[in-house]
Amino acid sequence: MKKIAMVGLGRMGGNMVRRLRQGGAEVVAHNRSFAVAKQLAAETGLLAVETLQELVDALGDGPRIIWLMLPAGEATQQALDALIPMLGADDIVVDGANAFYKDSQRRAGELGAWGIQFVDVGVSGGVWGLQNGYAMMVGGELVAVKQLEPYLKILAPAPDKGWLHCGPAGSGHFVKMIHNGIEYGMMQAFAEGFALMKGKQEFDLDLAAISEMWRHGSVVRSWLLDLSADFLLQDQDLSGIAPFVSDSGEGRWTAFEAIEQGVPAPVMSLALMMRFASQGSNDFPARMLAMMRKGFGGHAIKEGAK
């Protein structure tokens, strides 16, 4: 098995490196903060380098494999722009960020003009990936994916489970985008259902007990339910949690894709809208509604903060 390089050692990249090392892979790693790379080197025995040129040189003869685990967008593009002049024909660059699939298609064309193979990998597993393995949705040419396969087998939950070569460049990130759109919808459905049960005060329902019971035999059993059961066991009121839910690009891209294809996707789209509402984006529309209701019906309004 050849050495593999990893650029970006954040929560995902750092744990992926740990799993690769546990599986016996030789890893060269680079991070914007060299101290982070050195710390991981001391922990895992990987080779930490300060610059991208050192990273490429440390991989030896081609084809070299460089896996980027950087924020999607400008950070990834800057790394690609810097790497292109350093790489040769048949070298492989893997983008493991949550990138927009059309960007991945474009990048595959740009790198292909230099003879460099581009593979897009949608990675799911979060902070539990180190322990449980990562689900990976892979896009790119078969010849490049075959060379990447030994590392995918280490990172996955099992060598033959949890990873798939989905199709050509862009398909991995496309499937991951849809995966995250579905995730939005599932999370919203669980949140609404538990809110309804919490609101039925006359039954004094034990949400922790219900979520634990549902985990066994129910058609809604899932990892999201497992996580919910865990935190509800500790706190069923969640009064200390701000009602603010961030959204990442994948939910928005999924909604755009539905519009572009003309395919109805109301659950995923409305789940995204609810995240916007939690971020305060519904505050002004709600004030407008209150004022219109006052205007036509003389209904009282509730004074609030400016």
Between CA 302 and CA 290 the distance in angstroms is 8
The tokens 């209904």 sit on which residue?
Answer: 299
Active site annotation includes 38: no
Q: How does 290-301 read in b/e, with b if 16+ C-beta sit within 10 Å? A: eeeeeeeeeeee
Between CA 91 and CA 62 the distance in angstroms is 6
DSSP string, 185-214: HHHHHHHHHHHHHHH-GGG---HHHHHHHH
* Residues in contact with 261: Cβ distance below 8 Å, sequence separation at least 6, in sequence order: none
- Alpha helical stretches, state H, 65-121: 74-83, 101-112
Exactly one of 183, 198, 250, 306 is catalytic; which is it?
183
Exactly one of 176, 192, 250, 303 is catalytic; which is it?
176
* Residues in contact with 122: Cβ distance below 8 Å, sequence separation at least 6, in sequence order: 98, 136, 137, 138, 172, 173, 175, 176, 177, 179
Active site annotation includes 183: yes
Active site residues: 176, 183
